[in-house]
Structure 1
């Protein structure tokens, strides 16, 4: 079962279970996927759906920071809950140790030796950690390991 089918099946199950909040979030995700399918004029692959999920989580994290700055705990809590629902459909995030190992391997692969090679490392690294690590987290790890 691909990711789009799983979203559809989960939506049906959430309708039956009465979990209105999760149902609303899944409907928002499905809407974003459907809009992308219309733009592409074809069904999306799981990788493309994962890109949409990643974008949705990033938007909510950005909003979460703004809500916390503004002292809007009610909206911050809602954003956190939406992130949790979306992350059910994403692969398990990398631990710090796993990310460090992948960054070290990539640095060796591309032969990077200084921060001047950071772009080369990042372009080789991002496809490997797609959907499993935040770009800021990856960037920080690369900067830490490149001397």
Structure 2
């Protein structure tokens, strides 16, 4: 079952259970996936791949994380908690993300492959890495690991 089908199935379950929070989040995700399908459409019907669906979900998760930070800075804990609850639901549909240690191992290999020697070579390492780790690791975490490894 694809991620999209899983979301649609869980949406029906949430409707029957009258789970308002899950229903709201899943409807939002379904709408974002539909937007992506429409933007990808070239003449005929276009089903997006699970990889593209993961991109949509990662973008939604990143938006929630940014909102949580902003709400906390604005002293709106109630809104931050709501965003956190939504983020938990979104993360259920994302593939398991790599740990910092796993990322560090991949980064060290990539630095050795590219011959990067310092912070000035960050772009040389980040480009290929993000292609390799797309959908498997948080981009900001990868960036901070690369910075720390190139600084050593």
Query: By the TM > 0.5 criterion, same fold?
Result: yes
Which consecutive aligned stretches of 4+ in structure 1 deviate over 4 angstroms post-superposition? none
- Cα contact 2:71–2:77 (8 A) shared by 1: yes
CA deviation map 1:38-81 (0-9, x unaligned): 12111111111111111111111111111001111110000101
Kindly state the Cα deviation for residue 131 of structure 1 after the two structures are TM-superposed: 2.5
RMSD, matched Cα: 1.2
1:63 maps to 67
* Structure 1 residue matching 2:98: 3-state secondary structure: coil
TM-score by length of 2: 0.91
**Are residues 1:103 and 2:107 paired?**
yes
Give the paired residue count: 147
The separation in 2 between residues aligned to 1:131 and 1:67, in whole angstroms, is 26
1:113 and 2:117 equivalent? yes
Residues 117 and 150 in structure 2, CA contact (< 8 A), matched pair in contact too: yes
TM-score by length of 1: 0.94
- Structure 2 CA distance, aligned partners of 1:107 and 1:2? 35
Selected match of 2:128 from 102, 124, 129:
124
